[in-house]
Structure 1
Amino acid sequence: MADEKELIGITVKKNEDFSEWYNQVVLKAKLADFTAVKGFMAILPNAYEIWEKIQEYFNAKIKALGHRNAYFPAVIPESFLMKEKKHVEGFNPEVFWITHGGEDKLEERLALRPTSETIIMDSYSKVVKSWRDLPILYNVWCSVFRHETKMTKLFLRTREFLWQGGHTVHKNKDEADKEVLTILDIYEKMCEELLAIPTLKGYKSEKEKFAGALFTTTLEALMPDGRALQMGTSHNLGQNFATAFGIKFMDKDESEKFAWTTSWGFSTRLIGALVMAHGDDKGLVMPPKVAPIQIVIIPILFEDTKAKVLKASQTIEQKLSKKFRVKHDFREEYTAGWKFNEWEVNGVPLRIEIGPKDLEKDQVVLVRRDSGKKEIIKMKELENIVPKILEKIQADMLARAQKFLKDNIKNAGSYAEFRKIIEEKRGFIKTEWCGSQDCEDKIQEDTTATIRAIPFEHPKNVGECIKCGNKAKFVVYWAKSY
C-alpha cells in the first residue's frame, strides 16, 4: 500500500515548483490527460462535471435575461474570415485549415473555428430585417481550435478547448454597451460565487482588445505564482461585423441601419484557474458549490465490527445524498489512510469518518479539506451541521483568495520600482499610463508584463506615465500573464 500511496500523492511543493505541481495535480486528480494528438487534451469526468456545474450556473443566469442556446458549424469558409480584415489579422496565425474532403481538394479552404463571430454573423444577416427582430440573444457551447501554441499546458494552453460564446445583435450602441457590461457582471459573480475566485474588472487597451472589436472588457484573476489569468471577456463589436456581413434592419423611423453586435466568452481555462487558485501540497481543494463530490464518507473497517459500521455509514449516505453530492467509499482493498490521501488529491471539500469507537459514542469525525480542521459531531446533529460547514468552506475559500489578491496589488512610484516588483514579486502593479502604445510596447519588451485591465472608473487626478513621464490618461493594472 505504501507504493500506491506514493503513486497517487503529489511529490512536489506548490511553492517550490509551481508548474510541475500543477501538472501533477491535474493528472493525478484525473481532471485531464495528454493524448496522441499533439497539443490536444482529454477532459476527464472529474473535470467535465466541474464544467457542467459552470454551465448550469451560467445558463440559469442568461436564460433569465432572455438568451437562448444555439449551435453553429465548426468549420468557417476562408472568405468569411477575409470579410473582416481586422478579424483575420487577429486570428489567421492560429487557424487550422481544411483543404480536402476525402481525396478531393476543396474549392475553398475551411477553417476550424478559432472563434465563432463570422459564421454567426452571416446567419444573422439572413434573419435581421426589422427593429422588431432585435435584440437577438444567442449563446453557444462548443469547442474552438487554435494552432499557434507555445507549449501545451492542460486547460491553460491547448489547441482545442471548450468554451462558452455569446453573440448578440442590438439596435444601437447603448443597448450593446449594456449587454457587454451585464454579461461581465455575471462572469464576475460566477467566479466569486461558484469558483471562489475574485477578479479585477476593466477595459482592455487598444493593443490587447479583441480583433475587430470597438472595445473589450475583461476579468483578470491572480494566480499564486504571481501571474494573471484572463477569466472572461466581453466585447462590443460596434458595427464592424454588421457592416462586413450586411446585418441591416429597418428602424422605427423607416430608415435602414446597420446593427450593433456583441460577443463574450469564457473557456475551460476556468478549471485550470480553480486548480491553481485553491490547490495545496496534497492536491486539489474544491469549492463545495462546484465540486463533483461534495462529501466522501469513509468507514473505518475491522472484521468484527464491519457490518455495524457499514450499516451506519450507509444510513449517513442515504440521508445526506438527498441534498448533497455524496461518495460512500466502502472499498476494503485499501486502508482508510490510503483513501484519505486519494480523496485529498481529488479535493473533496468534506470527509466524514466513522469507525467502531465512533459508533459506540454515536458520533462521526468531520474533516475539512480546505483547512484540515477536524470536528467531532453527534450523529443526530449531522444533517444540521453539514450544510453550515460546506457554506463556511465556500466562504472561507473566497475570503482567502480575496486577501491574496488584495495583498498582491502593488503601487509603483517609478519605472525602476516597477521593474523590481515585476521581477521579484510579480502580482498586479497599479500605475499611471499615458495611453501611448509605444510606452505599452516598451514595458512589455522590457519586462514581458502587459496591461491586464483599465478600471472602468478613472480617477479625477492623474499624474505622470510610469514609463515616459508625460501626463497620464489612465490608471492601469499590469502583470505577467498566462
Structure 2
Amino acid sequence: MSSPPKEAVGITVKKSEDFSEWYTQVVLKAGLADYAPVKGFIVLRPYGYAIWESIRDLLDRRFKETGHQNGFLPVLIPESLLSKEEDHFAGFTPEVFWVTKAGDNDIGEKLALRPTSETLAYSIFAKWISSYRDLPLKINFWNSALRAEIKATKPFVRTSEFLWQEGHTVHATAEEAEQEVMTILGIYRQLIEEYLAVPAVGGFKSDKEKFVGANYTTTLEGMMADGKALQMGTSHHLGQNFSKPFEIKYVGKDTKEHFAWQTSWGVSWRLIGALIMVHGDDKGLIIPPKVAPIQVVVVPIHKDKDAALVKGRAAEITQELNQAGIRAHVDDRDEYTSGWKFNEWEMKGVPLRVNIGARDIEKDGVEFVRRDSREKVQHDRAKLVEVANNLLESIQKSLYERAKAMLDGFMSKPTTYEELKATMDGRGGFATAGWCSAQECELKIKEETGADIRVMPFDQAGMPKKCVYCGQPAKKLALFGRAY
C-alpha cells in the first residue's frame, strides 16, 4: 500500500512567509475550488460548496424566521432600465459584462449581466405595491452576481462571478427601514462571530465608501492574518433614492400616496475566504465545527489481520456520531496509509479526528485528535458522543478566542499621521484615529497610504480630539486599513 509523495499534496509554503501563495494552495489542495478557463472565474468543488451550503442554510433559516421570503431574478438587465438610476449604476459601470449578440445576430439594446439587482427588482416591485396592505415587502434572492474583476483576482475574495444572497425590502416608513437594516446586520454578526468564529467590527461606512444610492451603509469588517481588512457583510438604508425614480408608491391609511422606504443587504462566498485566512495554518484549513461539512473524521488504523475488526468498529463509531447529530465520516480507504489520511484531513480542516485501532478496541477506548491544537486525548468508548460534543464546542470557542486575540493585536491608535503611515507600511491592521469628516482628508490618506476608512464604529467612545490628517477638530472615530 503506497501513498503519493507528501510534497505533492501538502501545503509547501508557510502562512507567515508567503500569505498569498499559502492561501492559493489551501484553496486548491484542500479541494475547495479550482480555476475556470476564463480569467477571474472559479469552479466551486463539492467540499467548498458544502461550506457554502452550511452558511446558506443558517442564513436562510434566520431570514425566514424574520419574515423574509425567497424569490428568483433573471441575470440579464436591459440598459434602459439601468439608466433610471444613473448615479447608482455608474458605480458599477467599469465592472459590467454586456451581452450584445444572440448567436450571430445583434440584439439591439445591450443587456447587462447582473452586477447587483436593485434596478431590476425595483422595476418589478413598483408593479406589486399599491397599498399600505402590500407592505412590508421582504424578499431575498440566492443567486450569483457578475463583476469584471480582471486585475487583482483571488478565489472567493475577488472573482468575476460570485455566489451571494441579496435581500431587498420595502417599507412604509423610514423607521421601519432603519430597524430592518440593523436586524439584518445582527443576523450577519451572529453568523460571522458565532458560526464562522471571526470577530468583526460593526459600524457605518463613510459617504465615499457607502453603497452607491444609499442614505447610509452599515458594515461588519474583519481582519485577516496578513493585516488586511475584509468587508464581511453590508446592510444599506436606501431611503427613497430608488422608490422615487422607480415609482414605488403606496396609498396609506390616510388615503394619500406616499413613496416607500427601502433597504438592501448581502453577504457572499468571500466569507469562505475569510474563514481560510483567519483560521488556517501551515497544515491547511481549519474549519469551525459549526459550519464544517465533516465535523469528525474516523480513521481506522490496522494491519491486514485486524482489518475487519477495526473497520467494523470504525463504522459503528461513525454511525453513533451521525445518529447523535454530529456530522461524521469514516475514511476506510485501503489505498492510502493512515499517516497519509491524517495529513489529508488536516489539510481539509476537519475539526476533530477519531483514531481507532486494535489496541483501542482492546481497551474499549478511542483517541481524539483536535485540529486546532493537534492535541491527542484518550477516552472511554462509552463516552464517545459526550466527549466529541465537548471537544467540538471547545474548538469552536478556541478558534474565536484566537481570532479575537489576532484582531486585538492588529489594533493600533496612532496619534500622528506619521504613525498612521508607519502602521500601514508595517504590520497593517486597523489604525483607530480621529477624522474631521472632510472627504479631502479621506482621499489624501487613501492616496498616500493605501488605507481606506473601513468603518466608523457604532461605539464612538474614546474619539481623539483632532483629525489624524489635518489636525482640525475630529468629528468621527474611524478605523483606517488596507483591504481586499
Q: Tell whether the 8 Å contact from 2:433 to 2:463 is kept in structure 1 after alignment.
A: no
User: Whole-Å Cα distance in 1 between the matches of residues 384 and 89 of structure 2?
Assistant: 58
Contact 1:121 / 1:245 at 8 angstroms: preserved in 2? Answer: yes
**Alignment partner, residue 155 of structure 2:** 154
Q: What is the CA-CA distance between 1:462 and the residue it aligns to?
A: 4.6
Residues 350-392 of structure 1 show CA distances to partners (whole Å, capped at 9, x for unaligned) of 1000111212211111000011010011111112211111111
What does residue range 119-130 of structure 1 map to in structure 2 within 5 Å? 119-130=120-131
Choose which of 420, 423, 427 in structure 2 pairs with 1:421. Answer: 423
Q: Which residue of 1 aligns with 2:289?
A: 288
Shift of 1:160: 0.4
Output one character per residue of 1:261-318: Cα deviation in whole Å (capped at 9) or x when no partner: 1100010101111111100000000101101111111111101211211111111111
How far did 1:105 drift?
1.2
Structure 2 partner of 1:310: 311
Q: Residues 387-443 of structure 1: CA distance to partner in whole angstroms, max 9, x if unpaired?
A: 111111111111111111122111011001111111111111100000011000000
Does structure 2 conserve the Cα–Cα contact (< 8 Å) formed by 1:294 and 1:348?
A: yes
- Following the alignment from structure 1 to structure 2, what is the Cα–Cα distance between the partners of residues 305 and 146? 56
Residue 148 of structure 1, CA deviation: 3.9
Q: CA deviation at 1:2?
A: 6.1
Q: Which residue number in structure 2 is paired with residue 301 of structure 1? A: 302
**1:103, distance to aligned residue in structure 2 (A):** 2.3
- Displacement after TM superposition at 1:455 (Å): 1.4
Whole-angstrom CA distance in 2 between matches of 1:217 and 1:118? 21
* 1:313-328 matches, cutoff 5 A: 313-322=314-323, 323-328=325-330
Provide the rounded CA distance (Å) in 2 between the counterparts of 1:456 and 1:376: 46
Matching residue's letter, 1:123? I
Residues 123-153 of structure 1: per-residue CA shift (max 9 Å, x gap): 1000110111110000000000001432221
Matched letter for residue 72 of structure 1: L
Match of 2:333 in 1: 331
Q: CA RMSD in A?
A: 1.1
Task: Tell me what 2:169 maps to.
Answer: 168
8 Å CA contact retained: 1:172, 1:259 = yes
Q: How does 1:169-248 map to 2 (within 5 A)?
A: 169-248=170-249
- Number of positions where the alignment pairs a residue of Structure 1 with one of Structure 2: 482
CA drift of 1:461 comes to 6.3
Give the whole-Å Cα distance in 1 for the aligned partners of 2:293 and 2:476. Answer: 42
Q: Partner letter of residue 392 of structure 2?
A: L
Q: Which runs of 4+ in 1 moved over 4 A?
A: none
The two structures have a TM-score, normalised by structure 2, of 0.98
Q: Give the secondary-structure state (helix, strand or coil) at the position aligned to 1:243.
A: coil
**Distance across 1 between alignment mates of 2:435 and 2:27:** 38
2:285 is matched by which residue type in structure 1? L
Any stretches of 5+ residues in structure 1 without a counterpart? none
1:150 maps to a residue whose letter is K
Q: Quick one: which amino acid aligns to residue 334 of structure 1?
A: Y
Higher mean C-alpha displacement, 311-320 vs 107-116: 311-320
TM-score, normalization by structure 1: 0.98
Q: Which moved more, 1:307-316 or 1:344-353?
A: 307-316
Q: Within 1, Cα distance between the matches of 2:238 and 2:474?
A: 27
Q: Output the CA distance in 1 between the equivalents of 2:428 and 2:444.
A: 18
- Counterpart of 2:116 in 1: which secondary structure? coil
- Secondary structure of the residue that 1:364 maps to in structure 2? strand
Q: Where does 1:265-284 land on structure 2 (aligned, <5 Å)?
A: 265-284=266-285
Distance 2:12 2:463 in 1: 51
Give, in whole Å, the separation in 2 of the partners of 1:380 and 1:475: 55
Query: Per the alignment, in what secondary structure is the counterpart of residue 463 of structure 1?
Result: coil
Aligned to 2:9: 8
Deviates more, 1:15-24 or 1:144-153: 144-153
- Say which is worse superposed, 95-104 or 464-473, in terms of deviation: 95-104
- Secondary structure of the residue aligned to 1:240 is coil
The residue that corresponds to 2:376 in the other structure is 374
- The whole-number CA distance in structure 2 between the counterparts of 1:392 and 1:419 is 39
Relative distance call for 1:353 and 1:464 in structure 2 (3 A) is same
Identity of aligned residues (%): 51
Counterpart residue type for residue 202 of structure 1: G
Distance 1:461 1:229 in 2: 23
Matched, 1:258 2:272: no
- 1-structure distance, mates of 2:150, 2:207: 23
d(CA) in 1 for partners of 2:25, 2:457? 36
Contact 2:433 2:464 in 1 (8 A): no
Distance 1:346 1:416 in 2: 42
User: Secondary structure of 2:140's match?
Assistant: strand
Question: Aligned partners of 2:196, 2:459: CA distance in 1, in Å?
Answer: 26
Whole-angstrom CA distance in 1 between matches of 2:4 and 2:302: 21
Q: Are the aligned partners of 2:3 and 2:337 in contact in 1 as well (CA < 8 Å)?
A: no
Match of 2:466 in 1: 464
